Amino acid sequence: MSVDTGAAPATAPAPAGAVTVPAPAGAAGPVSGLGAAAERLRTVAAAHAADADTARGLSRDVVDGIRHAGFARHFVAARFGGTEGTFAELTGAVMAVGEGCAAAAWCASLAAYSARFAAHLPEAGHQELWGAGPDTVVATGLMPAGRARPGNGGWHVTGQWAYVSAVDFADWVMVCAAVAGAEGPPRLRFFTLPRGAYTVRESWDSVGMRATGSHTVVVDDVFVPDHLTFDRADMLTGRNGTSAVSSHNVPFQAVGGLTFIAPVAGAATGALAACAGSVTGRRRNQTAELTVVRASGRVDAARLLVEQNAQVLDQRLFTAEHMARNERNATFAAEMLREAVTLLVGAAGTAGLGERHALQRHWRDITSATSHVALQYDTAARKNYSAVLLGPEG
């Protein structure tokens, strides 16, 4: 489904007040076939989902499927064999995988978006990550932690970063650390480290999204050369001095929540299907039917908001209003999806809470995923969108 935002096409000039970032010709990018591959991956992920939940890790078949489907290469530059794909196509693919397994969709989404972050590296960094092929999997610790001190031609990095999803099978990890400056608060930079340069402490014990393997990355005084680091401000503003690829020049505010809400929207669609399979016999009554219908409305409405966010990105509508609305859309969609899956559990009754039933797994996954900081009103939407609606404070 799609939403008509009433916006100008991608080739039109940016609206007044928009953030100015490069928009090269062909900004929409080629069609990659990611959607068809995602449909196949959904089937594989669904077949392994229960065991992955118990084992707290994705199966090798699913990990290979994420890579082979093209998620890691989706935002990689075409000159390295990447897709330079659109946000809309990725969003649809992530939601499709999420119908089968939320954890697989979460890792697939982050594999794509982490490559987009890494595109801010200097050219030598691009060559090191993708020179041998575009399917390199990068895991990212977005929240600042640890510290970095300058060295000869690079930096010495030390710290611990929690909740780094997909770290179990990532080829590289990118973490954000503070660099002490001569004046003012410490600057923040991202540092990219190959597997083997860090250790992983198994710390992820959430009741939901168990198979994401969102463990803690530990770095102990590791040297990172200059070509594997960049200033965090580059990612926030969306200005990329290395790459003119459209998706590499997008303000973080506009895209942030989409990374995390798309897997949840897919999982809610999977929960709806799982519930429908349980509402049979004596459980098929007016109350249950009404509950399922109400839940379905919330799921569809949330998916429309998620798709609208992807359209804003592909059409490069980086006004304060559009970016703040994207934040609002993601947080409100999270709220609706939590409500929807709660309704579905009530409609399915005890049968839906069986240990091997897909509905209870989707319920736990959605509850856990929507606790993410990027999907909270106070940390992601309240201040910016209230300023759009009410004007600035004071």
Written in H, E and C, the secondary structure of the chain is: CCCCCCCCCCCCCCCCCCCCCCCCCCCCCCCCCHHHHHHHHHHHHHHHHHHHHHHCCCCHHHHHHHHHHCCCCCCCCHHHCCCCCCHHHHHHHHHHHHHHCHHHHHHHHHHHHHHHHHCCCCHHHHHHHHCCCCCCCEEEECCCCCEEEEECCEEEEEEEEEEECCHHHCCEEEEEEEECCCCCCCEEEEEEEECCCCEEECCCCCCCCHHHCCEEEEEEEEEEEHHHEEEHHHHHHCCCCCCCCHHHCCCHHHHCCHHHHHHHHHHHHHHHHHHHCCCCHHHCCHHHHHHHHHHHHHHHHHHHHHHHHHHHHHCCCCCHHHHHHHHHHHHHHHHHHHHHHHHHHHHHHHHHHCCCCHHHHHHHHHHHHCCCHHHCHHHHCHHHHHHHHHCCCC
Q: Collapsing DSSP states into helix, strand and coil, what is residue 73? A: coil
C-alpha closest to that of 258 among 388, 368, 109, 102: 109
Amino acid 307: pLDDT: 97
Task: Assess whether pLDDT exceeds 70 at residue 194.
Answer: yes
Q: How confident is the model at residue 25 (pLDDT cuts 50, 70, 90)?
A: very low
Sign of CA dihedral 281, 283, 289, 294: negative
* Interval 50-79: pLDDT, tens: 999 999 999 999 999 999 999 999 999 999
* 2, 93, 126, 212, 348 from 139: Cα distances, Å: 30, 19, 16, 11, 36
Region 99-106: mean pLDDT is 97
Q: How confident is the model at residue 2 (pLDDT cuts 50, 70, 90)?
A: very low
Amino acid 21: pLDDT: 42
Task: Assess whether pLDDT exceeds 60 at residue 1.
Answer: no
Amino acid 32: pLDDT: 53
**Residue with tokens 């200059």, as numbered in its chain:** 226
Task: Assess whether pLDDT exceeds 90 at residue 101.
Answer: yes
Q: Are 191 and 154 in contact (CB under 8 A)?
A: no
Amino acid 80: pLDDT: 96
Amino acid 3: pLDDT: 35
Amino acid at 6: G
Q: How confident is the model at residue 190 (pLDDT cuts 50, 70, 90)?
A: very high
Amino acid 352: pLDDT: 64
* Interval 373-385: pLDDT, tens: 888 888 878 888 8
3-state helix, strand, coil in the chain (%, to 5): 55, 15, 35
Q: How confident is the model at residue 13 (pLDDT cuts 50, 70, 90)?
A: very low
* Interval 108-135: pLDDT, tens: 999 999 999 999 999 999 999 999 999 9
Region 77-102: mean pLDDT is 96
C-alpha closest to that of 328 among 370, 373, 384, 368: 384
Length of the chain in residues, anyone?
394
Task: Assess whether pLDDT exceeds 80 at residue 30.
Answer: no
* Interval 271-319: pLDDT, tens: 999 998 887 777 788 888 899 999 999 999 999 999 999 999 999 999 9
CA distance 147 to 323: 30
Q: pLDDT over 70 for what percent of the chain?
A: 91
Task: Assess whether pLDDT exceeds 60 at residue 41.
Answer: yes
Does the model's pTM come out above 0.85? yes
* Interval 241-271: pLDDT, tens: 999 999 999 999 999 899 999 999 999 999 9
- Here the contacts of 176-179 (C-beta below 8 Å, separation 24 or greater) are 176/141, 176/142, 176/143, 176/144, 176/145, 176/232, 177/144, 177/145, 177/146, 177/147, 177/148, 178/144, 178/146, 178/147, 178/148, 179/147, 179/148, 179/149, 179/150, 179/155
Region 311-332: mean pLDDT is 95
Q: Are 25 and 31 in contact (CB under 8 A)?
A: no
Task: Assess whether pLDDT exceeds 80 at residue 386.
Answer: yes
Q: How confident is the model at residue 328 (pLDDT cuts 50, 70, 90)?
A: very high
